[in-house]
Structure 1
């Protein structure tokens, strides 16, 4: 069966078609099953010519790719599914030697459009700060958007998941007010020594990304890899409490509140599946925050700091 995916950027008036393949069949199927959706489009800030966005696909957190390649050596236009909950597309030179799971390829006739779109998305992230939304759909079918909602047995934990899901939906395509305030310099706690703001922004970015990628996402993987439930509870308390508290101090109060309630309710959870569901919703929420933080961050302040020997 041919499975073609259209990835479009309405703000740019561009779109490309990619064909999914069987190199990582389960990952490709998970993405296919989640279509259609929309997401804030991001761009690599360290690795090079690479686009990625947070995909609302819980399975990406724990599904392991059966076939990986060095992204640097993959053809331009390769689609990747990442356990960081990203759908990525290589469109030029990459420098980071990261093993990645390919799931498809942009059609050759659309590669020029991909490069054009990549340049515009970089400008959006680095300088103009005008968000660009990616629309991902099955080629030839209508678009749309929804975020998956998992359920668990305990009513209190299920209600918390409902709140996290609702908040994630609310901020999915609109900048969260607390992050926007932080980037505007409104920090009620006074975080930022001697009234600095950039220092706080750097630390918020440095804590938010690993909290979603490594902590909550890692706990989902651990649950699916059969770590005992009591060990999962213990690791969640060890890994999540301190960064969430710090981020709350910096202005992300809702994140801190959700994390406190989740950690406080861990003893109510009676199965690894329910634990994984709670952590998956927290991961998606924090990964969404992380995407917005990257979009809002004033990267252009680094114009005067260039790699030695860099051409541009």
Structure 2
């Protein structure tokens, strides 16, 4: 993490949290964060990985960030911005629990800075006094984690999937149907 986005542990206000998250996002916008580069080299601070490999850790990191950004943060933001009758206290309680869980998973899969940013977000939503505060905090976190997820996608060894090619299921159906037709003709 660069000096520009020095993350403080205290949470002073919603605006302060948004500013900190946005600064952290700006720091990783053009270049990947050190934690992602380390993860791509198999350097996982907690030593996470099945049978002494880090591919499983990368798979979990990619999945945890995808579900965080594309589902959890997105749906929280949509709820806060499109449903004026949404209950702020319930949203905060839900996102507090989910945010703490996902933050700890970020740490577990080698993204300790992602963990700290998500816990910062949770501290911020606890201060939210309106759906607008909650939505702005969530949007800020969503843009940070979308960017982090993009970097993890880039270091992921997608070429490895070539070793796991499957037959097109439609071709299998066609082959089965053709085989059944030949069996009837015999």
Quickly name the TM-score band, shorter chain normalised: 0.7 to 0.9
Shift of 1:164: 1.0
Deviation at 1:307, TM superposition (A): 2.7
Q: Deviation of residue 259 (structure 1)?
A: 1.7
Greater relative CO, 1 or 2 (CA 8 Å, sep 6+): 2
SS of residue paired to 1:302: helix
Select which of 170, 177, 194 maps to 2:51. Answer: 194
Which residue does 1:276 correspond to in 2?
135
Correspondence for 1:247? 106
* Counterpart-to-counterpart distance in 2, 1:309 and 1:267: 49
| Aligned pair partner of 1:221 in 73, 78, 83 | 78
CA distance in 1, matches of 2:143, 2:130: 20
Give runs of aligned pairs for residues 81-230 of structure 1, distance below 5 A: 155-224=12-81, 225-226=83-84, 227-230=86-89
2:126 and 2:43 mapped to 1: Cα distance? 37
Higher strand share: 1
Q: Within 2, Cα distance between the matches of 1:244 and 1:261?
A: 10
State the aligned residue count.
157
**Contact conserved, 2:17 with 2:124, CA < 8 A, in 1?**
no
Counterpart-to-counterpart distance in 1, 2:125 and 2:19? 16
User: SS at the partner of 2:13?
Assistant: helix
Which consecutive aligned stretches of 4+ in structure 1 deviate over 6 angstroms post-superposition? none
- Is contact 2:92-2:125 (8 Å) kept? yes
1:155, distance to aligned residue in structure 2 (A): 5.0
TM-score between the two structures when normalised by the length of structure 1: 0.48
Structure with more of its chain in helix, by fraction: 2
RMSD: 1.8
CA distance in 1, matches of 2:160, 2:121: 37
Q: Which runs of 5+ in 1 are unaligned?
A: 1-153
Give the whole-Å Cα distance in 2 for the aligned partners of 1:296 and 1:244.
20
SS of the aligned residue for 2:42 comes to coil
Inter-partner Cα distance in structure 1 for 2:15 and 2:112: 21
Is residue 181–residue 187 contact of structure 1 (8 Å, CA) maintained in 2? yes
Q: Are the counterparts in 2 of residues 157 and 262 from structure 1 also a CA contact under 8 Å?
A: no
Unaligned regions of 5+ residues in structure 2, if any? 1-10, 170-186
Deviations 1:219-267 (A, max 9, x none): 1111111211111111212322212211112221122112222223433
The structure that has the greater radius of gyration is 2
